[in-house]
Structure 1
Amino acid sequence: MAQWDKLRQLPIAYRQQLHELYDRDALPMDVRHYLAPWIEKQEWQRAARDHAFAMVLFQVLLENLDIQHSRFVQEESFLLQHNIRRYKQNFQRYVDDPCALATTILWFLEKEKEILESAELAEKVGFRTSLMCL
């Protein structure tokens, strides 16, 4: 199962951590949600070090946002159209430093992994505790 899908199925306390994580403009939760499969398949570590590769991912990210925008136009989702257009404009700040965008996305993915690991550990501890009580 994809990382984003796992995160969305966590108990409320861990989803709250996810909301707090995405309470920033660096990577809007909408973008993370709508582009989740694509984001998780990319080599962000490589892009953080390789300007040319980061530029390719940056351009593809913008293209994917255009695709989402077109989808929302067809669905007549006015608010989502507006948000996606605004996010795309905000990402333009990375045009001269796409490695910074790659580093930012990598940071978010790592923080998500920490939330997942914390939830998995709590589940294991709870399971072991329940076995000990038997």
Structure 2
Amino acid sequence: MSQWKQVQQLEMRLLEQVDYLYDDNFPMDIRQGLAGWIESQDWDSAVNDESMASVLFTNLQTQLEKVRSQEQNFLQRHNMKIIQQQLQRKYTSNLTGMARVIATCLREERRILAATCSQEQGALEQSLQNSVAFERQKNMDNRVSIIRNSVQLMDQAVKNIEDMQDDFDFCYKTLQSRESADRTSEMIKQGITRLQEMLNRLDFKRKEILSKMDVVIKEIDDLMTSQLRPELQDWKRRQQIAAIGGPLLTGLEQLQSWFTLTAQSLFQIKRQLDKLGELVVKVTYESDPIPLQKPQMEERVKFLIYHLIKR
């Protein structure tokens, strides 16, 4: 697309700037009628080269005569004839001056176009940045929400384990009383079988809740490392920019919310681990997974809580 066509597509306020460039020294009619030819010439070099300026002036007159001869409108032909005569009077003895005027007009057009492109590019980049920031925030919101929901579900799972353990404890004590009452060995065998089944289910649920806790703790660790920490560093950087007159800070409230909800999830997991420790005091057995895994998980949770609050 020619430079002149690009100029014509500018918005009105910028077209007014272009309008200021053209007057009797270089009428816009010439710019319009000889747009392609004018842009193909080296006017900048002609500014300091009299012979080159002379050649361009002669060629300009030839091009104008050609356009005028092809014009069907009588009034337009008349106007172009007057323009040719004006150019001859003005620049016959100042050929480099004509080159300078045209070179200046073309250069100013490019400047206006470049500034417009820069503004559009800046707006596009800002739009893309806003879009990326929105997607990043949306992703963070989703991850924090998923973690919170998972922790809430684990609360219920721990409560279910406690209920299962109470049932087991009741059946165990009932079986003991039957043994002391010298009931039939068949009833005792059935009671023992039932207790073993209950203990197997209890063991499965304990392993299951510990596995889920491990997954959530790893998810929180990854969240803190891959997103919360970079978000905080970015906020600190923007805070420093704002301190020297940069754009106003945004996102602090959202950042605080993410940190707060993540901390709440960690404290809730800590309470769940404490509850599992209480259950072990009441009922434990060989290869009980809670005493084996709980200490290490507690240390990881405390470590994450410490570093989250520290930041």
Q: How far 1:132 moved relative to its partner?
A: 3.1
Q: Does structure 1 residue 116 correspond to structure 2 residue 113? A: yes
Counterpart position of 2:212: none
Instruction: Map 1:87-102 onto structure 2 (within 5 A).
Output: 87-92=83-88, 93-102=90-99
Counterpart position of 1:82: 78
Structure 2 CA distance for aligned equivalents of residues 129 and 26 of structure 1 = 41
Q: How far 1:62 moved relative to its partner?
A: 0.7
**Count of aligned pairs:** 130
Q: For each residue in 1:32-68, what CA deviation from the matched residue of structure 2 results, as whole angstroms up to 9, or x when unmatched?
A: 0110111111111221111111111101111111111
Counterpart position of 1:39: 38
For normalisation by structure 1, the TM-score amounts to: 0.90
SS of 2:10's partner is: coil
Q: For each residue in 1:2-44, what CA deviation from the matched residue of structure 2 results, as whole angstroms up to 9, or x when unmatched?
A: 111111122222222222322x211111100110111111111
Letter paired with 2:114: E
SS of 1:49's partner is: coil
Unaligned runs of 5+ in 1: none
Letter paired with 1:49: N
Q: Does structure 1 residue 18 correspond to structure 2 residue 15? A: no
Counterpart position of 1:106: 103
Unaligned runs of 5+ in 2: 132-311
Q: Which is higher, the Rg of structure 1 or of structure 2?
A: 2
Structure 2 CA distance for aligned equivalents of residues 66 and 121 of structure 1 = 39
Q: For each residue in 1:70-99, what CA deviation from the matched residue of structure 2 results, as whole angstroms up to 9, or x when unmatched?
A: 111xx1x12211221111011112111211
SS of 1:27's partner is: coil
Percent of counterpart pairs with the same letter? 35
Counterpart position of 1:52: 51
Structure 2 CA distance for aligned equivalents of residues 20 and 70 of structure 1 = 29
Structure 2 CA distance for aligned equivalents of residues 63 and 124 of structure 1 = 40
Q: For each residue in 1:92-133, what CA deviation from the matched residue of structure 2 results, as whole angstroms up to 9, or x when unmatched?
A: 121112111011110111110111011101101211222233
Letter paired with 1:104: V
For normalisation by structure 2, the TM-score amounts to: 0.40
Structure 2 CA distance for aligned equivalents of residues 128 and 88 of structure 1 = 47
Structure 2 CA distance for aligned equivalents of residues 129 and 78 of structure 1 = 52
Structure 2 CA distance for aligned equivalents of residues 126 and 17 of structure 1 = 21
Letter paired with 2:109: E
Q: Does structure 1 residue 132 correspond to structure 2 residue 123? A: no
